[in-house]
C-alpha cells in the first residue's frame, strides 16, 4: 500500500501557491517520477492502472507546462488520488445501493371533513401570519393550496454510495454522522460534518446554519441530497438538503423534490412539509369533474392523482402525466367558457341587421387619399358580411400599429350611422380617444363638408341623407358641456361617440347603439359586454388590437370572437432602423438625437425599467429626466411622463409634445404611449434587455409614423443570453407577427400573454405552445358543447360548477 496522503498535501500546496512549481524543493517532476515507480507496483485494479498510465507520471514534465495547463494537470492528479483512495475503501462498490424505501402515497381520510373552499387557516399548523404570506401568492383556500404547484422538481431520487459520487450531479446518499462541529465559513457561523457509509466518508457543510450542529449528533442516520463539488481535491456537499433517515416519509431528499415559488418569509423546508401534509390529506377529496368517458378517451389521469403527483411525483413520467391532465383542464375550461360567451352574445338577444348596400360606403372610400391595401379590403369585406346579420357581430381585428385599422373601423361606424344607428368608439385612455376623434374627423372632412362644431364635436353634411355628428366625450370638458353631450347622445342627435371605455360603464345612455368599436381588447371583457346588454343593446362589436397574437393562440384565448387580420402595412412605409447599442455608445445616441432635433424632428426616451412599485419607478423617471434635461440636453426642451401624474398633467405633456413644443419626451414604460406623433423619429429605449419582444415592438411602433426615416435605439447594460437573442430579433425583424412567434418561443407562453388582463382564467400548467393538447381540448370542448351547451345534464353538473368557479376567479383578477 502506497502513501497518497503526502502527495495529495503537496499538490494542494502547489495549488495554493499558484502553480509556480514551488511546493517541493527540486520541483514536482522529480517527486512524481519517484512516486510513480512505487505506485505502479501496488495498483491492482485494471481501471485505476489505466488511468494511472494515462497520467504518464514516469515522464512527468510539469516544469515545462504553462500555468493553466499545470492547474488542469494538478486537478486531474488530485482526482486520480481521490479515486485511488476510494478504491482502497471499497473495491466492490460498483453496484448502486438499493433505493431508499418509501411507502407510496395513499389517501388518508381526514377526521374532520372540511370544505376545500375553506380558508387555509383551517389547516392545522397554518397560523394567520403564515396564511398572510400565502395570501400574497394568491393562495387563500385549501383548494388554492392544492393548486399551488411547484415551479419544478429536483431529482434527488438517485441514491449513490459515497464512493460512487460524481462531481456536479444531483445525488442522494444515506450516511451516518461521525462528527459535526461549528465552523466559521466566509465569516458565517456554519455547520460542518463528516458522514460516512460502508464505502467511504465525505465532508458536508451548511453555510450560515449553526443550528444544525445540535441535530447532527454522532451516529444519527441522515439522507443527504444535493450536488457534490470538488474542494481541494476532495468531494464535499455544500448546503445540501437533508433529513433524518428515521422520518417515515422523505420530503426533502431521496426523491423528486418540489421547488415552490416562494415569497419572503416562506422557508422551502416549511412549505414542502406543509404541502406534503395538505396534499396527502386533501387531494383525494377533490372531485373529478371531467366526464369519465372523456378522461378515458383522452388518456388523462384522475384529478386527485394528478394533483398529488404534480407535487410529489413518483417519477419523471408521473410529472408529465400530471401536468398533461392539469393543463388539459385549464385549456378545456377556457374553451368551454369562451364558447359559452359566444353563444350568450349571439343568441341572447337579436342584434341590429344593417343595410350595407349603399353608396355611402363607396363615397367614403373614394374620398380617401389612398387606396385600401388588399388586407384592409379583405377585412372590411368580412365586417360588411357580419353587419347585415341578425346575430350581433363579434369580431377581433388584429393589425400592426399603423396598418390602417382606424380607417376600416370608421367605415363600419359610418355604416351604422347610415342605418340611423349610433356607433361608439372606445379607447383605453383619454389621450388615445382624443387622437381617434382627430383622425375620424380628418377622414370625414374629406368625404363630406364640415357644417358646424367645436373642439369636442363636429357636424358633417354631404355624407348621409342627414348630417352626421361626431363627438368626443372625455373628462376634460366642463360639466355643463358634458351634460349637454349626454343629452344629445340620449336623444340620438349624435351619431358617433368617441371616448374611453367609461362610455358604456358610466351614466351614458344611448338612443340606439348599433356598433361598438373597442380599441385594444385587453381591457374589454365580459363585464363591459354585459353592461351593454343591461342597457338593452346588442350592438355589433369590433374589437381592435395591435398586439399580434399567433393564430392558434388567438383561437384559444379569443375563441368567442371571429378573427380578422390586417397582415400588411400600407405601401411606402419605411423600415424603422433598429440598432442595439452598447452602453459605451450612449453618448453617440445622444448626439444622434441632438442632430435629429436640429433637423426639426422629435424623440422619445423610455426610462430604465424599475420593477419595484410605481412610486419608485416614478421617482427614478424624475431623476433620469433631471439628468437628461440638465446635464445631457440643457439646450433642448424635455417633457416627462410617468404613471404617478394625474390624467390632466399627462394630457398636457402629450399635447405639448404633439404640438412640437417639446423636443424630447422622457417616459416610463408604464405610461400608455399609444400616441401618434408623426414628427417623432427616434425611440431610445434604456434597459432594453428587460423588455419582452412584443413590448419593444410596441415602443418602436411609436416612431416611423410620418414621412421621415425613423430609428429605434436600444441600450442594454448587461444582457443575458436570452435577452441578447431578443435584441438580435428586434434588430432584424420588423414584422410584428413574426416577432410574436419569436417571443412565444423565447419567453414561453405564460408570460407572453398575460391572460389576467383579459378576464380569462389563469393558465398555469398549460403551455400554449403545446398545440396538440390545445387542439384536443378545443375539439373536446366543441364536442361537449354540441350535446349539452348549457351543461344541464346531471352528469355534467360537476363540470358546470368547476367552469363557473374558474371563470369567476378569472374575472375577479381582471
Ligand atoms: P392603426 O389604427 O392600425 O394603427 P391607422 O388607421 O391609424 O393605423 O393608420 C395609420 C396611418 O396610415 C394613418 O395616417 C392612415 O391615414 C394611413 N393609412 C391607412 N390606410 C392606408 C393605406 N391603405 N394607404 C396609405 N395610408 C394609409
Ligand atoms: Mg391605432
Q: According to the 3-state scheme, what is the secondary structure of 242-308?
A: EEECCCCCCCCCCCEEEECCCCCCCCHHHHHHHHHHHHHHHHHHCCCCCCHHHHHHCCCCCHHHHHH
Q: Check residue 475 and report its DSSP letter.
A: T
Hey, what's the cell of 144? 388554492
Q: Please, which residues have CB within 8 angstroms of residue 178's CB and are 6 or more apart in sequence? A: 193, 194, 195, 196, 201, 218
What is the 513 CA–ligand 2 centroid distance (Å)? 23
pLDDT tens-digit map of 151-205: 888 787 878 899 999 998 888 898 999 999 999 988 889 999 999 988 999 999 9
Nearest-atom number in ligand 1 for the CA of 376 is 23
pLDDT in the model for residue 584: 87
- Alpha carbon nearest to ligand 1 atom 6, residue: 404
Pick the ligand that lies closest to the CA of residue 399: 1
- Alpha carbon nearest to ligand 1 atom 20, residue: 404
∠536-537-542 over CA atoms, to 5°?
Answer: 155
pLDDT in the model for residue 692: 79
The span from the CA of 364 to the CA of 407, in Å, is: 10
- In this predicted structure, the answer to whether residue 535 has a pLDDT above a threshold of 90 is no
pLDDT in the model for residue 388: 96
| Among the listed residues 754, 664, 672, 364, the one whose alpha carbon sits nearest the alpha carbon of residue 501 | 672
Ligand 1 probe mutation, 402, 425, 446, 572, most atoms within 8 A of CB: 402
- In this predicted structure, the answer to whether residue 772 has a pLDDT above a threshold of 50 is yes
pLDDT tens-digit map of 244-271: 877 667 777 777 888 887 777 788 888 8
pLDDT in the model for residue 114: 66
Q: Please, which residues have CB within 8 angstroms of residue 538's CB and are 6 or more apart in sequence? A: 345, 348, 349, 350, 351, 352, 392, 532
- Alpha carbon nearest to ligand 1 atom 22, residue: 570
Nearest-atom number in ligand 1 for the CA of 399 is 3
Secondary structure (DSSP) of 183-199: EEETTEEEEEEEEEETT
Ligand 1 probe mutation, 399, 406, 436, 442, most atoms within 8 A of CB: 406
What is the 372 CA–ligand 1 centroid distance (Å)? 9
* Distances in whole angstroms, Cα of residue 126 to Cα of each of 148, 252, 280, 361, 772: 15, 20, 16, 66, 40
Q: How much is the average pLDDT of 587-603?
A: 96
Q: Check residue 571 and report its DSSP letter.
A: T
* pLDDT > 70: percent of the chain: 88
10 Å CB burial of residue 194 (0-12, 13-18, 19+) is middle
pLDDT in the model for residue 693: 82
Cα-flanking dihedrals φ and ψ of residue 544, to 5°? -115, 140
Secondary structure (DSSP) of 670-724: TS------TTEEEEEETTGGGS-HHHHHHHHTTS--SSS--EEEEE-SS--HHHH
∠45-47-49 over CA atoms, to 5°?
Answer: 65
Ligand 1 probe mutation, 372, 380, 398, 570, most atoms within 8 A of CB: 570
Cα-flanking dihedrals φ and ψ of residue 469, to 5°? -115, 130
pLDDT tens-digit map of 58-113: 777 888 888 878 887 887 787 777 666 655 544 444 566 666 655 444 444 444 45
Pick the ligand that lies closest to the CA of residue 404: 1
Cα-flanking dihedrals φ and ψ of residue 113, to 5°? -90, 120
Nearest-atom number in ligand 1 for the CA of 678 is 14
pLDDT tens-digit map of 674-683: 677 889 999 9
The span from the CA of 558 to the CA of 636, in Å, is: 46
**Dihedral sign of CA atoms 794, 800, 802, 804 in order:** negative
Start-to-end CA distance of the chain, whole Å, equals 74
Q: Which range among 112-116, 139-143, 592-596, 692-696 has the greatest average pLDDT? A: 592-596
What is the 676 CA–ligand 2 centroid distance (Å)? 8
What is the 378 CA–ligand 1 centroid distance (Å)? 15
Nearest-atom number in ligand 1 for the CA of 439 is 7
pLDDT in the model for residue 441: 94
- Residues having CB closer than 6 A to ligand 1 are 370, 372-373, 376, 399, 401-407, 570
* Distances in whole angstroms, Cα of residue 582 to Cα of each of 138, 595, 724: 39, 20, 12
- In this predicted structure, the answer to whether residue 699 has a pLDDT above a threshold of 70 is yes
What is the 550 CA–ligand 2 centroid distance (Å)? 19
Q: How many CB atoms lie within 10 A of CB 80?
A: 19
Nearest-atom number in ligand 1 for the CA of 372 is 23
Q: What is the pTM of this model?
A: 0.61
Pick the ligand that lies closest to the CA of residue 407: 1
Q: Please, which residues have CB within 8 angstroms of residue 489's CB and are 6 or more apart in sequence? A: 422, 471, 473, 497, 508, 509, 510, 511
What is the 401 CA–ligand 2 centroid distance (Å)? 6
What is the 418 CA–ligand 1 centroid distance (Å)? 23
- In this predicted structure, the answer to whether residue 793 has a pLDDT above a threshold of 90 is yes
The span from the CA of 262 to the CA of 270, in Å, is: 11
pLDDT tens-digit map of 337-383: 888 887 877 777 788 899 998 889 999 999 999 999 999 999 999 99
What is the 666 CA–ligand 2 centroid distance (Å)? 21
Q: pLDDT-based confidence at 7, cuts 50/70/90?
A: confident
What is the 606 CA–ligand 2 centroid distance (Å)? 20
pLDDT in the model for residue 247: 65
Q: How much is the average pLDDT of 522-528?
A: 59
- Beta bridge partners, 665, equal 604, 639
What is the 402 CA–ligand 1 centroid distance (Å)? 5
**Using only C-alpha atoms, what is the Rg of the chain?**
34
Q: pLDDT-based confidence at 414, cuts 50/70/90?
A: very high
The span from the CA of 582 to the CA of 585, in Å, is: 5
- In this predicted structure, the answer to whether residue 736 has a pLDDT above a threshold of 90 is no
What is the 30 CA–ligand 1 centroid distance (Å)? 83
For the chain, give the mean pLDDT.
Answer: 84
Instruction: For helices 430-447 and 359-367, give the axis angle rounded to 10 degrees.
Output: 100
Q: pLDDT-based confidence at 751, cuts 50/70/90?
A: very low
* Distances in whole angstroms, Cα of residue 308 to Cα of each of 311, 312, 373, 746: 5, 6, 54, 30
- Alpha carbon nearest to ligand 1 atom 26, residue: 570
- Alpha carbon nearest to ligand 1 atom 10, residue: 402
The span from the CA of 668 to the CA of 621, in Å, is: 6
Q: pLDDT-based confidence at 123, cuts 50/70/90?
A: confident
The span from the CA of 460 to the CA of 446, in Å, is: 10
Nearest-atom number in ligand 1 for the CA of 371 is 23
Pick the ligand that lies closest to the CA of residue 365: 1
* Distances in whole angstroms, Cα of residue 9 to Cα of each of 5, 19, 113, 114: 6, 14, 64, 63
What is the 407 CA–ligand 1 centroid distance (Å)? 7
- Alpha carbon nearest to ligand 1 atom 23, residue: 372
Q: Please, which residues have CB within 8 angstroms of residue 308's CB and are 6 or more apart in sequence? A: 105, 279, 280, 283, 284, 322
What is the 409 CA–ligand 1 centroid distance (Å)? 11
| Among the listed residues 41, 46, 70, the one whose alpha carbon sits nearest the alpha carbon of residue 58 | 41
10 Å CB burial of residue 129 (0-12, 13-18, 19+) is exposed
pLDDT in the model for residue 111: 42
Helix (H) / strand (E) element for 181: namely strand 170-185
pLDDT in the model for residue 268: 80
Q: Check residue 755 and report its DSSP letter.
A: G
Nearest-atom number in ligand 1 for the CA of 401 is 4
Q: CB pairs under 8 A, 24+ apart, for 36-42?
A: 36/60, 38/2, 39/2, 42/1, 42/2
- In this predicted structure, the answer to whether residue 633 has a pLDDT above a threshold of 60 is yes
Nearest-atom number in ligand 1 for the CA of 373 is 23
What is the 640 CA–ligand 1 centroid distance (Å)? 28
What is the 35 CA–ligand 2 centroid distance (Å)? 80
- In this predicted structure, the answer to whether residue 392 has a pLDDT above a threshold of 80 is yes
Hey, what's the cell of 431? 389621450
What is the 560 CA–ligand 2 centroid distance (Å)? 23
| Among the listed residues 609, 641, 594, the one whose alpha carbon sits nearest the alpha carbon of residue 622 | 641
pLDDT in the model for residue 69: 83
The span from the CA of 551 to the CA of 380, in Å, is: 19
Nearest-atom number in ligand 1 for the CA of 407 is 6
What is the 705 CA–ligand 2 centroid distance (Å)? 11
pLDDT in the model for residue 61: 84
Ligand 1 probe mutation, 368, 404, 412, most atoms within 8 A of CB: 404
* pLDDT > 90: percent of the chain: 39
Pick the ligand that lies closest to the CA of residue 438: 1
Strands 513-519 and 496-500: unpaired
- Check: CB of residue 345 under 8 Å from CB of residue 529: yes
**658 or 556, which is more confident:** 658
Q: How much is the average pLDDT of 691-702?
A: 84
Q: Please, which residues have CB within 8 angstroms of residue 370's CB and are 6 or more apart in sequence? A: 570
- Beta bridge partners, 314, equal none
| Among the listed residues 240, 241, 221, the one whose alpha carbon sits nearest the alpha carbon of residue 229 | 240
Pick the ligand that lies closest to the CA of residue 571: 1
The span from the CA of 809 to the CA of 814, in Å, is: 9
Nearest-atom number in ligand 1 for the CA of 405 is 3
pLDDT in the model for residue 710: 95
- Check: CB of residue 691 under 8 Å from CB of residue 669: yes
- Check: CB of residue 690 under 8 Å from CB of residue 662: no
Nearest-atom number in ligand 1 for the CA of 572 is 25
**100 or 513, which is more confident:** 513
pLDDT in the model for residue 320: 92
Q: pLDDT-based confidence at 451, cuts 50/70/90?
A: very high
Pick the ligand that lies closest to the CA of residue 566: 1
pLDDT in the model for residue 89: 43
pLDDT in the model for residue 109: 45
Amino acid at each position: 500500500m502506497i502513501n497518497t496522503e503526502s502527495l495529495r498535501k503537496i499538490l494542494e500546496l502547489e495549488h495554493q501557491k499558484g502553480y509556480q512549481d514551488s511546493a517541493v524543493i527540486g520541483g514536482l517532476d522529480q517527486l512524481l517520477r519517484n512516486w510513480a515507480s512505487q505506485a505502479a507496483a501496488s495498483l491492482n485494479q485494471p481501471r485505476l492502472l489505466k488511468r494511472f498510465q494515462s497520467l504518464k507520471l514516469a515522464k512527468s514534465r510539469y516544469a515545462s507546462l504553462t500555468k493553466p495547463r499545470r492547474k488542469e494537470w494538478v486537478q486531474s492528479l488530485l482526482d486520480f488520488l481521490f479515486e485511488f483512495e476510494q478504491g482502497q475503501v471499497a473495491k466492490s462498490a460498483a453496484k448502486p445501493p438499493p433505493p431508499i424505501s418509501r411507502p407510496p402515497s395513499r389517501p388518508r381520510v381526514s377526521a374532520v371533513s372540511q370544505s376545500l373552499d375553506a380558508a387555509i387557516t383551517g389547516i392545522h399548523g397554518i397560523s394567520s401570519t403564515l396564511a398572510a404570506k400565502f395570501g400574497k401568492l394568491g393562495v387563500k383556500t385549501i383548494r388554492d393550496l392544492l393548486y399551488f404547484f411547484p415551479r419544478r422538481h429536483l431529482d434527488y431520487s438517485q441514491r449513490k454510495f459515497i464512493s460512487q459520487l460524481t462531481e456536479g450531479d444531483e445525488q442522494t446518499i444515506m450516511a451516518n454522522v461521525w462528527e459535526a462541529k461549528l465552523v466559521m465559513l466566509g465569516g458565517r457561523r456554519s455547520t460542518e460534518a463528516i458522514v460516512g457509509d460502508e464505502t467511504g466518508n465525505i465532508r458536508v457543510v451548511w453555510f450560515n446554519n449553526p443550528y444544525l450542529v445540535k441535530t447532527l449528533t454522532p451516529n444519527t442516520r441522515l439522507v443527504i441530497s444535493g450536488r457534490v463539488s470538488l474542494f481541494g481535491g476532495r468531494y464535499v456537499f455544500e448546503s445540501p438538503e437533508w433529513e433524518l433517515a428515521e422520518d417515515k416519509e422523505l420530503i426533502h431528499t431521496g426523491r423528486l423534490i418540489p421547488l415552490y415559488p416562494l415569497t419572503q418569509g416562506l422557508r422551502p423546508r416549511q412549505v414542502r412539509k406543509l404541502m406534503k401534509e395538505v396534499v396527502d390529506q386533501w387531494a383525494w377529496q377533490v372531485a373529478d369533474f371531467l366526464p369519465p368517458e372523456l378522461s378515458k378517451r383522452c388518456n388523462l389521469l384522475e384529478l386527485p392523482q394528478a394533483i398529488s403527483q404534480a407535487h410529489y411525483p413518483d417519477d419523471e413520467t408521473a410529472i408529465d402525466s400530471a401536468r398533461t391532465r392539469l393543463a388539459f383542464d385549464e385549456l378545456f375550461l377556457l374553451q368551454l367558457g369562451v364558447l359559452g360567451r359566444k353563444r350568450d352574445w349571439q343568441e341572447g338577444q337579436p342584434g341590429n341587421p344593417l343595410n350595407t348596400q349603399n353608396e355611402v360606403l363607396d363615397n367614403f372610400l373614394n374620398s380617401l387619399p389612398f387606396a385600401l391595401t388588399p388586407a384592409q379590403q379583405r377585412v372590411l369585406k368580412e365586417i360588411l358580411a357580419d353587419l347585415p346579420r341578425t346575430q350581433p357581430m363579434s369580431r377581433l381585428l388584429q393589425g400592426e400599429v399603423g396598418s390602417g385599422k382606424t380607417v376600416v373601423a370608421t367605415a363600419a361606424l359610418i355604416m351604422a350611422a347610415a342605418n340611423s344607428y349610433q356607433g361608439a368608439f372606445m379607447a383605453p385612455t383619454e389621450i388615445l380617444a382624443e387622437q381617434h376623434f382627430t383622425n375620424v374627423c380628418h377622414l370625414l372632412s374629406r368625404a363630406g363638408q364640415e357644417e358646424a362644431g367645436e373642439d369636442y364635436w363636429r357636424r358633417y353634411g354631404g355624407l348621409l341623407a342627414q348630417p352626421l355628428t361626431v363627438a368626443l366625450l372625455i373628462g376634460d370638458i366642463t360639466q355643463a358641456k358634458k351634460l349637454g353631450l349626454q343629452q344629445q347622445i340620449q336623444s340620438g342627435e349624435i351619431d358617433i361617440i368617441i371616448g374611453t371605455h367609461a362610455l358604456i360603464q358610466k351614466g351614458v345612455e344611448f338612443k340606439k347603439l348599433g356598433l361598438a368599436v373597442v380599441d385594444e381588447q385587453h381591457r374589454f371583457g365580459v363585464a363591459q359586454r354585459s353592461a351593454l346588454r343591461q342597457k338593452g343593446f346588442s350592438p355589433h362589436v369590433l374589437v381592435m388590437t395591435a398586439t399580434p397574437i399567433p393564430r392558434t393562440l388567438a383561437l384559444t384565448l379569443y375563441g368567442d370572437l371571429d378573427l380578422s387580420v390586417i397582415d400588411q402595412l400600407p405601401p411606402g412605409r419605411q423600415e424603422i432602423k433598429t440598432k442595439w447599442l452598447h452602453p459605451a455608445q450612449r453618448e453617440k445616441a445622444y448626439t444622434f438625437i441632438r442632430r435629429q432635433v436640429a433637423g426639426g424632428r422629435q424623440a422619445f426616451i423610455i426610462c430604465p425599467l424599475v420593477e419595484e412599485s410605481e412610486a419608485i419607478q416614478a421617482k427614478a423617471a424624475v431623476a433620469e429626466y433631471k439628468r437628461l434635461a440638465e446635464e445631457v440636453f440643457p439646450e433642448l426642451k424635455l417633457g416627462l411622463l410617468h404613471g404617478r401624474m394625474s390624467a390632466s398633467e399627462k394630457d398636457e405633456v402629450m399635447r405639448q409634445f404633439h404640438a412640437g413644443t417639446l423636443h424630447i419626451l422622457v417616459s416610463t414604460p408604464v405610461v400608455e404611449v399609444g400616441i401618434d406623433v408623426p414628427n417623432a423619429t427616434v425611440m431610445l429605449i434604456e434597459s432594453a434587455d428587460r423588455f419582452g419582444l412584443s413590448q419593444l415592438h410596441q415602443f418602436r411602433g411609436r416612431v416611423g409614423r410620418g414621412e421621415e426615416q425613423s430609428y429605434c435605439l436600444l441600450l442594454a447594460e448587461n444582457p443575458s443570453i436570452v435577452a441578447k437573442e431578443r435584441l438580435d430579433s428586434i434588430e432584424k425583424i420588423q414584422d410584428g407577427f413574426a416577432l410574436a412567434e419569436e417571443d412565444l418561443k423565447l419567453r414561453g407562453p405564460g408570460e407572453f400573454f398575460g391572460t389576467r388582463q383579459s378576464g380569462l382564467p389563469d393558465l398555469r400548467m398549460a403551455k400554449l405552445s403545446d398545440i396538440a393538447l390545445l387542439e384536443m381540448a378545443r375539439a373536446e370542448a366543441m364536442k361537449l358543447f354540441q350535446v349539452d351547451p348549457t351543461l344541464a345534464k346531471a352528469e355534467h353538473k360537476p363540470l358546470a360548477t368547476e367552469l363557473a368557479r374558474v371563470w369567476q376567479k378569472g374575472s375577479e383578477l381582471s
